[in-house]
Amino acid sequence: DTGVSQDPRHKITKRGQNVTFRCDPISEHNRLYWYRQTLGQGPEFLTYFQNEAQLEKSRLLSDRFSAERPKGSFSTLEIQRTEQGDSAMYLCASSLGGMHYGYTFGSGTRLTVV
């Protein structure tokens, strides 16, 4: 197992286009999280899944954002009608759940909206 994988690493898109990112968690981890990080700030929570169920969504997650985790394995995060303010690093993390397990983060997808 090579850890949490995110694809693509970088994405440049024009304003108004839709983009989709993929996250492959560590295989035995049942929880998967999406965070967004802008330059000089800590990661901000977007949403998380336990298995295939989406259990919490942040107020940051507008209706242009949607996340799925079919079959409780990989997850996708889609942003529709991108705006320049969506430019950020999108981080995925997974964990075994429970309070004794840390989160393992992927290397992130850097989105630039021009």
Partner 1 sequence: EDQVTQSPEALRLQEGESSSLNCSYTVSGLRGLFWYRQDPGKGPEFLFTLYSAGEEKEKERLKATLTKKESFLHITAPKPEDSATYLCAVQVMKLVFGQGTRLTINP
Segment interacting with partner 1 (CB under 8 A) among 12-20, 48-56, 59-67, 75-83: 48-56
Q: Which of 41, 62, 73, 112 binds partner 1 (CB under 8 A)?
A: 41
CB of 43 to partner 1, least distance (A): 5
Is 57 one of the binding residues for partner 1 (CB under 8 A)?
Answer: no
Nearer to partner 1, 107 or 112 (CB): 107
Q: What SS3 string covers the chain?
A: CCCCEEECCEEEECCCCCEEEEEECCCCCCEEEEEEECCCCCCEEEEEEECCEEEEECCCCCCCEEEECHHHCCEEEEECCCCHHHCEEEEEEEECCCCCCCCEECCCEEEEEC
What backbone torsions phi and psi does residue 74 show, to the nearest 5 degrees? -70, 165
Residue 17 or 55: which CB sits closer to partner 1?
Answer: 55
Residue from the set 2, 28, 40, 84 that interacts with partner 1 by CB under 8 A: 40
Binding site for partner 1 (CB under 8 A): 4, 6, 33, 35, 40-45, 48, 55-56, 91, 93, 99-100, 102-108, 110
